[in-house]
Structures are given as C-alpha cells and as structure tokens.
Structure 1
Amino acid sequence: MEEATSSFSTPQSGLGRAGFAIGGRTIFLLVFLLALFPFFISWTLEPSVPPQLQLCHSVTDDAVDPGKVPGLTFQCDGTPANYADRWLWLRHEMTGQQQTWPDWSMNLHNTRFEDLLVNFHFANGHTETHRVRAGDFGNHWTPNGYLAFHAHSRPAPLDAITLGINRLASYELLRLRLVPGVQQDRAVQLTSVLVGASLSLLTVSLVYNLFITVIARKRRAIWHCAWVVCMIAWGLCWSQLILLIAPQLAGSATVRISSVLATSAIVFANQYMLVSLEKTALPRIVRVGLRGSALAMLLLCPAALYAPAGMATILAELFRFSTVLTLTLVIIALIVALYRRSQAAKDFALAWSLPVAAVLASFTADTSTTVPVVSGELMVLGTSALQTLWLSFAASRGFANLQAERDQARAMQSELMVLAETDPLTKLYNRRGMMERFHRELAQAQRNGSSLGLMLVDIDHFKSINDTFGHEVGDHALQHVANLLAQLRKIGAIVARFGGEEFCIIVPGKTGEELLTLAERVRRLLADADMSKVFDTNTHGITASFGIIDTREFPDSDAATLLRAADQALYRAKAGGRNRVVMARREENPPSMALEDTNT
C-alpha cells in the first residue's frame, strides 16, 4: 500500500510542476504580445499626428466675449504666470497642413479647472464656441480621459483656435492634441474597446482572487484584491466612464479621485509584494525604504491635489518623484529577492515588469501627442489587466501546489490510519480497528432495534503448531485461517485478528439461531480445510473453538460486557473439548474473567 501511494504521488506532482512551467512561459508570451497589440493598432491609424501645437498665451481677470478674443494681446515666448485664480487664454494659429483637414478635434486631457471655452475662428470672421465647466462636460468627454471639441468644415478655412481656461491648476500638466475628426472617432472607438476589455479582465480577476482568498484562506491575497478594486475604480474615473452614472463628478472631482486611487493602488501593490516575499528574501533596510516611500506618496498625494495657489506644480513634481522612487525601490527589491532565489519574486517580476514600465513611460514621455490611442494611462490600465492575469495564474499555481500537498498529506494520514487499524500479518482489522467498528455497529443496532452477532474464534492447540513446525509455519497457518474467515465479508461481516491466534467476527443482521448455524458452517469449513500446503503433510489440520453472542440477548449492555460474555462462551467451548461452538446466554450471567490460556 505504501509503495502504491509513493509511485502515484511522485509522477503526479512532477507532471503538475512541468505543466505549470509550460503554462507560465505561454502566459508570459501572451502578455508580451497583448502588450504590443495597442501600439500596432495605433500606428495603423492614418495620418499620424505631428507635433503641431504652437501656443501663445494671455491672462485676463474675467471671461472675454468670443468675438473679442482675437483682440487680446498674446505672448508666444515663455510660459504663462499668475493664472491660478484668473482666465488663461491659449491661441494656436492653424498650419497649412491642418487647414486641409475636412474637420478638426481639439482634445484636452482632463485636468483641474473651473470653466473651459474653446473657440474655433474661421477666416470669414465666424467663431464656433464650445463651453464646459466642472460638473458638466456634456457630450464632450471621451473614454480615453480627454475632452474633445469638434469643428466641422465650412466655406471659409479655419484660421485659429483659442482656449480660455478659468482657475487652471497647472499649465505644465496641461495636455492638448489637435487631430483630424475622422481619426479622432476611430481612436475613441478603439480606446473604448481597450478600456472595456481591461476593466472586464480586472473584474474577472477580482472575483477569482476573492474566491482564491476564501478557499485557500490566504489573507495576503486581500492586498491584491484591494489593488484590483483600486485599479477598476481608477479606470472608471480616468476614462470618465463614471460620468455615465455620476455626471456631476466631471472635472476636478474625477481628477482628484483618480489620483487618490492610483496612489492607493501602488501602496496596496507594494504591501502585497512585501507580505508575499519570503522573510529572508529582502534586507530590513529595503523593506523599511519601501514602506517609507509609500508613506511619502500617501502624504504628498492630498497635498498636491489641494495645493495652494502657485504650489500645484511643485507639489505635483514632488509627488511624481515619490512615485518614481517607490517604483525604483520595487525594482531593486525584486532584483535582490531574485538574487536570493525567491520564487515569489519571479512571479512578481514577470507580473510587474509591464505595469512599472508603463508608469515610468507615462512620466517620461507623453505618447498621446504621437500615438492617438495609447496614452500613458491606458498603457497602465492595460498592462495592469495583463498583470493581474499573471498574478492570478501564480496564485492558482500556489493554490494547486498547496492543494496537492494537502491531498498528499491527507492520503498519507489516511494510509497511516489504515495501517494503525490493520494487522500486518493477516491484512485484517486489528484489535483497535475491530473495537472502533464494534462500538459503531452496536450503537446502530441498539438504536434501530436490529440484531447483531459477535463471534470469538480461537485456533485449537496453536502453541503446539509453533513448537512442532516453527513460527514461520504458524504465521502461514494464521494467514490461511484469515483468508478463510475473510470470505464472510461477502455477507457484510467484519473480520479482525483479535490477538495471537484469536479472531473476532462481527455479523450484523443475524439472530441467535442464524448466528449459530453460520458459526457451525465456519467451524466445519476450518476443520475440513486442506492444510497440506501449510504443513507439507496431510496428517495435520486445524480446528477452532467458537464463543458467540446475540447482542439482543443482552439488552442495554455495553461493548465490554458483551465481549466478556462471548469470551466466557469461548472458555466453555475450550473446556468442553474444543472444536465446537458455544453461544452465550443471558441467564448464565457470565463472570468478568479472562479467557484461559489456550496455548496449552
């Protein structure tokens, strides 16, 4: 039995490890290919967007009538100043190439402001004006985090575009794009698909990881679930899909909520990595540094969001620096853990490589000015969805390994329990296994009022067999008797070796006379058995004495009392000449005494 268990479990576990190794390489390749997919899609959009905005600026205390905006004095050198509580006006003169487009879309990345005016000035003096304000973006928002303002082709060409922004938080954080209208529509459609797919993957991953958390009882997975929740909520706010159900959040509210959620997501992910890595995988100073940088992020985030006038840019840069520092420390921590051969670090390195690269890329380069679909935020959202797939796979692998180890431990425990209740010589139940089952069967019989028989079988003159033929032959004789008695299992009997040359048989459902008839048949079976292969002679056989009892003759008696009664009946069978069956009777009131030494 032990060999059978070992030969089964070893190949199975090896096959499981090989399967997961192959699956890991496949998923990593899939993640890489999916990460490139948005870029391939984006580059197929024609025409490509050139670096095209040459902005001049002006500042006024109040809003200016659209017709009078061209009369403002604009400066085309330097950067705007003193605009925090005023109107900032930006003007772009259309180039010859831009004037050939049939229609236009001026896109402004969602940022913090109170009011926004977009004026399209045509050569015939006509001005087309669009206005939005915080809490009311109308139908100008798009699912890629931008506000889009369209101007359609007119008999007169488009000369210039001016934007008036009231109470802008930071000019340095302002992101503008001017694209052909057809290209903008295609970009929005593709962005909607990518955002929807990413949010769907994150939602499925959340449900799956919650399931893993409950089933595997891994509390550290709660940090991963919290990260996924933050990424889902951040994706809804950044893409502005949240405006479908809460349009009043348009503007500063979604920007602030997105920043808080993004910061919380990084902190949760950082904590998930720390609790998942082995204690010996990271030096204490690295762990302290990671927690310190995460704390700095949490403190700088609200400070940057509610910065006083003139401090928004500085605090935003400090917050960006703390974020980059945290991600840098994460990379250092993973390198150190990988050097120390941490398996968890391998999973995190594969999972975090793309999201970290996307975040760093979004800080160092604004891809939205050259790639019409994939902004830095969309890269972060998409790679995070792919990341959570990998982490879910890693969690599944860990759960599968844990389940395999648990199943193996249960199998070993079950095997040990079987060995603890099995007689190694005869493969029947031993005394312990018999007593456990006798108690169970007796309780059921007394509860249901059904009959239950008990037989004690003792081989006659067994000591002389050992003395004459040797103990090895004696063992063979015991095995032969055990094989014969084991045939009673066909009628539902429980057969056990009670000790030495004594056997016990529990027979459910047999009344007194039926039990007596069965015992006689078994006695004759033993007496008539061919023992020539055991003793190498036809002149020697085996007989046995039987003490039997019908438990209904002893109502309300416990197992010990019934065994003493059967033991006394066996004693009388021995005293009466052996090779016979004696049934215990209630009126005989059997004394509490041990069976005589039957080895004589």
Structure 2
Amino acid sequence: MIVCGGLLGLGWATPAAAEILRIGQPLCHAVSGVVAAEGAEPPAFSCSGEPAGYQHGTLWLHAMLSPDAGIVAGERDDLSLIIHNSRFDRLIVTFFYADGAVERQEVRSGDFGTHWRAGGQLAFRAPHRDVSLVGVTMQFDKVASARLLRMRLVERGEESTQTTGLATLIGAALVLLLAGAIYNASLAFAARRQFSAWQSAWAVCMIAWGACWSQLHLFFFPAMAGAISAQICTGLSCLAIALATLTAVTALEAPYVSPWLRRSALGLTGSVFALGIPLSFMRSGPIDTLGSVLGVLVLANLVAVAACIAQAWRRGSGEARNFAGAWAVPMILLGSTSFFDADAMFWGGGSQILVLFAAAWQTLWLSVTATRSHALLRAERDMARQAEARAQDLARRDALTGLPNRRGFIERVGTVLAASRTRGEPVALLVIDVDWFKSINDAFGHEAGDMVLERIASCIAPHESATCTVARLGGEEFAMMLAGMAGFDLMRFAESLRQRIAEQDHGAVIGGRKVTVSIGMATTSGAADFRTLYRLADEALYEAKRAGRNQVAIRLLEGAEPYADDQDLAGGQDLPGGHDLNLDKG
C-alpha cells in the first residue's frame, strides 16, 4: 500500500480492453469477523454499501461475468484477473465456469509464486476450458483496506503486453533515477555541495521505493512479497517526501525565505514523517482515515515548499528558479490527480508511475542545473586563477621592458642552478650594464633613455628559455643565467651579444650616438649559489668598466675547470671585435 500516493509526475496512458472491478459496481462483498476456515463458504453477499469489520477476518469479493452483471464474458475463457495488492495474509482467487467447474489459485504474504508482476500487481489467469467463465471470487484474509484494492479483468494477451510495457516504463524511470543518484553523489563528493548530497539521498530513496512498490525486488527477495513490502513502501514514500523538502528548503538561502515560512515547510514535513512511519506498521484500525489525513498533510507540505520557492524567486534567488522548474511538473500532476481517477493510467500502474517519472524529471533537472552552476563556478575559479597567475607574473616582470625583474630572476635561477647541478653542467651568470647611461638621460631625457633600454632588452629577450634566464635587475643593469655552456662557446656568445647591442641603431632617439654595454661574467663547472656567482660577476663587470667599457670580463669560481682548449684566450689574445679579455681567477 502506498499511502503517500505521489510526489511527482509525468504523462499517463489508459489500458485497452480492460474492465475495472469496483466494490458495488459490479463486485458484491461478504465479510467474516474471523479468518474463514479452509474451504468455508462465504456469508450472504451484499452488492451495496461498503464492507466493514474485515481487517481481522476475511473479505470476499464476487463478480458475475454475464451481460446482466455488466461484464461480458460470453464464450471467452482467455481472461486474466489483475489485482494491485495491498496488505493481506492470504488471497484465494476462484474461477467459476458455466459447466459448474471451479478453479482455485492462492498466494500468501511472503509467497506470491509466479503470480507477481511488475508494477505492484498480481496476475491470475483463468485456466482454459471449453465452456465460458461465468464468475470470479476473491477471498482476502486480514486485508488492511478494501478501499485501496484495485482489480481489473483483461484479455490474456493484453495482460502480457501491459505487463511488459509497465515493466519497461518502471525500468526506464529507475535507470534515470540511478544515473541521477550516482551523478549527484559524485558532485557532492567532488564539489563538497550539501545540496547534491541531499539530492542523491533522495534519489536513492526513490529508487528503493520504486523497486519495492513495483515488486522488482522479488527477483532477489521473494519472501518479502506482500504486506512487508507494502509497509516498507509506505515508510520509504514518507522518507522521500522529507528528503525532497529538505533538499529544496535548505538549498534556498536564508535571506530569500522568511523564517516562519521555512519553519512551516519543515514542520509539515515532520508531521508527514511522524504520521507516515507509524502508519506503515499498521495492519488494522483507521488506515483509510489516517491515509486521507496523511494525503492532506502531503499536499499542504508541497504547497509550503511551493511558497518557499515562489518567495525566494520573487526576492531574486537563482536557486529558486532552478527549483521552480524541477517542482512545477510534479506539483501540477499531484494536484490534478486529486480531481480524477488515476488508477487506470499506465496499464494499472496508476499514480505510482507518475511518481517515478516525475522523480526522474526532478533529479535530471536539478542535476543539469547543478552542473551548470558548478561549471559557472569552475569558470569563475579558473578565470580568477588565471588573473592571479597573470598578476603574479606581472609582479615578477619589469613593466618597461617585459623582462623578468630582480624578484622573478632570483626565483628562476634557483631552478636553473638545481638542474645544472643534477646534470653536472657548467653554469654562467652575465651581468650587463649600459655604458654612460646617465649621460643619455641627461642629454636626451628619461623618455629617450627608456626607449634605449627597450631596444637593448629586445636583444636579450629572445635568449629566454629553459636553460637561459634573463632579467632587468634595475636601472640600466641586465642579467642572464646560462646552463650547459662553457669555454670558447660561452665567450663567443657573450661577445656576440655585446656586439649586437653596440650595433643597435638609436638614431631616431639620440641621433648618431652609439650605445654600448660592459659585461661581467662569472662561471663554474661545480656547485655554486647565486649570491656567490653574482658577487664574482659584479666584480668582473667593474673590471670591464675600469678597462675602458664596451667589453667582456670573466671570473672563474674557485674549483672551476680552466679553459683547457682555449689557452690562447687565457694569454690575452684579442677577441673578435678587437676587445681584450680580462680573465682573472676569483
């Protein structure tokens, strides 16, 4: 029995070639206050009014299959009786034939045998005989509620078609719910979103409810057939309502929803849960009355949730718009089922099929909106990270030349030194200083001086790579850290750089005046730290200045290997360009 008949919904279908059996039209009933003995005859049948006093005894329902009774059986004997089971201990179905033959079929709570079908149904096929079927009797022992019983007579071929179609619909809805549950659980774990965790829990609860109501769980747990499954379904449906409400109400930010409205929704949810759980254990008593009360509470709870969403939307909440799309269809369908009979929809699946598909709709809708929100947050985070990276890079670069500044240079040379030490490569530090730069500023202005520095930087910048770090250390001083280059190759590189800078044309800025640089270089083939290399390179730079500028001077760190193949350089031979090499050993 599903007391909480629905949370959500989607579409309907009406069964073909089916006759719905109702108490009084055309079912007659008889009641025994105690459970009838095996083979006992029912008391006199009554075809009017409602049965009473059957919960601790036996309820008989009988239908005459004749034109006078409103059900035309004629010569046909290919009928199946479909019963949407409720809570009972035993059910005996008896088929009566025109020749007086009687055929009985029986199921018990915990043992439905081969009679159970998907969609919470039991199917009893009338055995084939050469005479027509004229009547059918159903004997229920300790049934919880006659009002919740739903019975149909259908053709046997139609029964197979409907059962297959119903099972397909249920399977599709459960797969969609499972996908939503897994996705939301993953999102909750990855993004630490409480809302996604609630949504995943709700989807899991709906999957459990759908499997239990549809009886698919009987594939694995056949002993759960009957009353115990019906009771579990009632509890799960109330738990699902509570989780759905918590998902919506807690996801709406506090400033957007009035405290009293939030408390009202949560209070109604608590009432549904407080009444639904005890009701799920009941086997007798005022089940119909309490079920009606519970239905009113469920509708009131949904109205309260709708009010929370509407208020939050009106106050500008983005989450409220997402929830409005998720809850609109379920609320409309729930409200509409209060005004028409949904029992015949979806081949007897009724409002429960609406519940499953609407739950899938809500889960997928909220999953899509959560994905969109998460994607926007990730995009904003990535943009923030990129902006931060750009800001950090700018903080490590010289605004005028675009080269790394002193801070950026010092951070990078540590990596170069560590890599060269690991590979056993030589390393060299070049300190480059513009000759007579102050006179350029004095004669032509600081703007012209800045343009000269930019042109010099354009000669240095192309050398920046994984093995060469360049920088403007400040003022007119530049630096380069090279790994893997030594001896004549290193001296040729330094001289080539000096010459390229000297050959730069600054005529548009400072006329025909030439701009040269002095380069101090420190090199080592062993372990070294930046501070030591910089001190030696700075000493070499001042040596080049004292020697007349526009030249390269070098210092070797103690322990560095001499230029074995370049003894002519050590002897002071002129380098290409006509400038002397000052080679002092530090």
TM-score normalized by the length of structure 1: 0.86
Shift of 1:365: 4.1
Q: Matched residues in 1 for 2:278 and 2:463: separation?
A: 84
Match of 1:98 among 72, 79, 84: 72
Report the Cα offset of residue 123 of structure 1. 2.7
Q: Name 1:312's counterpart in structure 2.
A: 287
Alignment-mate amino acid for residue 297 of structure 1: V
SS of 2:92 mapped into structure 1: strand
Cα distance in 2 for residues equivalent to 1:357 and 1:187: 26
Q: Higher helix share goes to which structure?
A: 1
Q: Secondary structure at the match of 1:584?
A: strand
Q: CA deviation at 1:559?
A: 1.8
Instruction: Give runs of aligned pairs for residues 12-31 of structure 1, distance below 5 A.
Output: none
Cα pair distance change 1:587/1:115, threshold 3 Å: closer
| In 1: Cα distance, 2:478 partner to 2:58 partner | 102
Aligned to 1:82: 53
1:178 maps to what in 2?
153
Q: 2:31 aligns with which of 56, 59, 63?
A: 59
Distance 2:297 2:320 in 1: 23
Report the equivalent of 1:510.
Answer: 485
Q: Which of 508, 518, 521 does residue 545 from structure 1 map onto?
A: 518
The SS at the match of 2:464 is helix
- Larger deviation, residues 431-440 vs 95-104: 95-104
Q: 1:153 and 1:443 mapped to 2: Cα distance?
A: 91
2:436 alignment partner, one of 461, 472, 476: 461
Query: Residue 563 of structure 1 aligns with which residue?
Result: 534
SS in 2 for 1:189: helix
User: 3-state DSSP class of the match of 2:411?
Assistant: helix
Asked whether the equivalents of residues 541 and 553 of structure 2 are also in contact (C-alpha less than 8 Å), the reply is yes
The equivalent of 1:192 in structure 2 is 167
Cα distance per residue 1:301-360 (max 9 Å; x no partner): 221122374232333233222222211211222222222232211211111222334444
Q: Does 1:528 align with 2:503?
A: yes
Matched, 1:143 2:118: yes
Partner of 1:16: none
Contact 1:547 1:570 survives alignment (8 Å): yes
Cα deviation code 1:400-419 (max 9, x no counterpart): 11111111111111211221
Partner Cα separation in structure 2 for residue 331 and residue 398 of structure 1: 22
1:327-338 aligned at under 5 Å gives the runs 327-338=302-313
Match of 1:253 in 2: 228
What is the alpha-carbon distance in structure 1 between the residues aligned to residue 221 and residue 340 of structure 2?
A: 31
Q: Does 569-578 or 57-66 show the bigger shift? A: 57-66
Instruction: Report the residue type matching 1:571 in the other structure.
Output: Y
| SS in structure 2 of the partner of residue 367 of structure 1 | coil
* Structure 2 SS opposite 1:99: coil
Map 1:164-563; keep pairs closer than 5 Å.
Answer: 164-307=139-282, 309-362=284-337, 365-369=340-344, 372-489=347-464, 492-535=467-510, 537-538=511-512, 540-552=513-525, 555-563=526-534
How far off its partner does 1:109 sit? Answer: 1.3
- Given that residues 290 and 326 in structure 1 are in contact (C-alpha distance below 8 angstroms), is that contact kept between their aligned partners in structure 2? yes
Q: 8 Å contact 1:199–1:235 — kept in the other structure?
A: yes
Aligned residue pair count = 546
Deviation at 1:370, TM superposition (A): 6.1
Question: 1:412-436, CA deviations, whole angstroms, 9 ceiling, x for partnerless residues?
Answer: 1121122111111111111111111
Kept in 2, the 8 Å contact 1:87–1:165? The answer is yes
**Counterpart residue number, 2:577:** none
State the shift of 1:459 in Å. 0.1
Q: Deviations over 1:438-475 (max 9, x none)?
A: 11111222233211111000001100001111111111
Instruction: Give the aligned CA root-mean-square deviation in angstroms.
Output: 2.4
Corresponding residue number in structure 2 for 1:20? none
Q: Is the 8 A contact 1:431 1:496 kept in 2?
A: yes
Whether the 8 Å contact between 2:524 and 2:557 is mirrored in structure 1 is no
Cα distance 1:367–1:466, how it changes in 2: closer, same or farther (>3 A)? same
- Provide TM-score, normalisation by structure 2: 0.88
SS of equivalent to 1:98:
coil
Please give the alpha-carbon distance, in whole angstroms, between the structure 2 residues aligned to 1:490 and 1:437.
11
Which has the higher mean CA deviation after the structures are superposed, 91-100 or 164-173? 91-100
Secondary structure at 1:220's aligned position in 2? helix
| Alpha-carbon distance between aligned partners in 1 of 2:365 and 2:283, rounded to the nearest angstrom | 42
- Distance (whole Å) between structure 1 residues aligned to residue 16 and residue 297 of structure 2: 38
Q: Secondary structure at the match of 1:562?
A: helix
TM-superposition CA deviations, 1:548-576 (whole Å, max 9, x none): 11133xx5542222212211221222222
The aligned residue for residue 553 of structure 2 is 582
Question: What letter is aligned with 1:346?
Answer: R
Distance in 1 (alpha carbons) for counterparts of 2:489 and 2:20: 101
SS of the equivalent of 1:113 reads coil
**What is the match of residue 565 of structure 2?**
none
Q: Structure 2 unaligned segments of length 5 or more: list them.
A: 1-7, 560-586
SS of the equivalent of 2:138 reads: strand
Segment of structure 1 superposing worse, 400-409 or 369-378: 369-378
Percent identical across equivalent pairs? Answer: 35
- My pick for the range that moved more, 307-316 or 157-166, is 307-316
Give the deviation of 1:361 after TM superposition: 4.6
Once the two structures are superposed, what CA deviation does each residue of 1:497-542 show, in whole Å capped at 9, x if it has no partner?
Answer: 110000011111112443222212211222233222332x22x101
The farther-off stretch of 511-520 and 239-248 is 511-520
Residues 10 and 333 of structure 2 are in contact (CA less than 8 Å); yes or no, is this contact kept in structure 1?
A: no
- 8 Å CA contact 1:515, 1:550 repeated in 2: no
1:136·1:247 contact (CA, 8 Å) conserved in 2? yes
Q: Shift in Å at residue 116 of structure 1?
A: 0.7
RCO higher in structure (CA 8 A, sep ≥6)? 2
Structure 1 counterpart SS, 2:295: helix
Aligned-partner residue type, residue 111 of structure 1? S
Q: Residue type matched to 1:419 in 2?
A: L
Deviation at 1:160, TM superposition (A): 2.2
Which of 92, 115, 123 is the matching residue for 2:98?
123
Say whether the 8 Å CA contact 1:112–1:252 is kept in structure 2. Answer: yes
Deviates further, 248-257 or 326-335: 326-335
- SS of aligned partner of 1:121: strand
SS at match of 1:232: helix
Q: Which moved more, 1:210-219 or 1:397-406?
A: 210-219
Q: Which moved more, 1:353-362 or 1:262-271?
A: 353-362
